[in-house]
Amino acid sequence: MSLYLNHYGWLLNFFYPGLEWRLQHPDQKVLYLTFDDGPVPEATPWVLDTLDKYNIKATFFCVGGNLEKYPELYKDILKRKHRTANHTYNHLNGWKHSDDYYFANILACESIMEKLEEEVDIPQEWREKRLFRPPYGKIKRIQSDYLQEIYRVVMWDVITGDFDAQRGKEKCLKTAIEARRNGSIIIFHDSVKSISTIQYALPKFIEDSLEKGYTFETL
């Protein structure tokens, strides 16, 4: 089981200025649910139905290769009024690739997103200011600086580790509940690896958060 660090964006911003780790709402109990690595038919429809059940909107960081395979799933996310964002075409680790290749991979994902969005009505502001999250949270400083000219580069305040089978569903839920705070950007995954864990943890986390007076918004 790996160690997952929460609440450390303040430190990394010394080295990577401008990245979004948490939205500052000191007096507002607002949380930002995000889902990475989809869409896939094994997980995304269940996540969407669960969010509908609680009338919650979230933000989905999508992999371009999955968008090509499952375009109707992407359009369904948008039709249900959730926000979407770029997570590269091949789920690339920015540390391991040249800048040009990394940027081209992001552009490949963006092209697919924009083409599919032509068929769905979404807020203009979502088209004008795009969102990006680097897979694994691994990105070079030069890549980060360049991408911030185009994107809001979004990281996280809370990572649940839902993709880690050794971590277990109870630990995932415990982490999400104990680490959340006003303005937290929280990562779950709509992926094959995560589905059994989030089927347990996500509804319980949402219900506990609502009981504690939190609301949920898109980024």
What is d(CA 162, CA 143) in angstroms, rounded to the nearest whole number?
27
Catalytic residue among 36, 37, 162, 190: 36
Assigned token pair, 59: 């933000």
- 178 exposure class (CB count in 10 Å sphere: 0-12, 13-18, 19+): exposed
Place of tokens 């391991």: 96
Using H for helix, E for strand and C for coil, what is the string for 132-165?
ECCHHHCCCHHHHHHHCCCEEEECCCEECCCCCC
Q: Judge whether 97 counts as a catalytic residue.
A: no
Q: Which residues contact 79 (CB under 8 A, 6 or more apart)?
A: 120
Q: What's the Cα-to-Cα distance from 219 to each of 57, 132, 135, rounded to whole Å?
A: 10, 11, 18
Contact, 186 vs 9, CB < 8 A? no
Q: What's the Cα-to-Cα distance from 27 to each of 6, 22, 24, 158, 211, rounded to whole Å?
A: 21, 14, 9, 19, 17
Q: Judge whether 189 counts as a catalytic residue.
A: yes
| Type of residue numbered 151 | Y
Q: Which residues are catalytic?
A: 36, 189
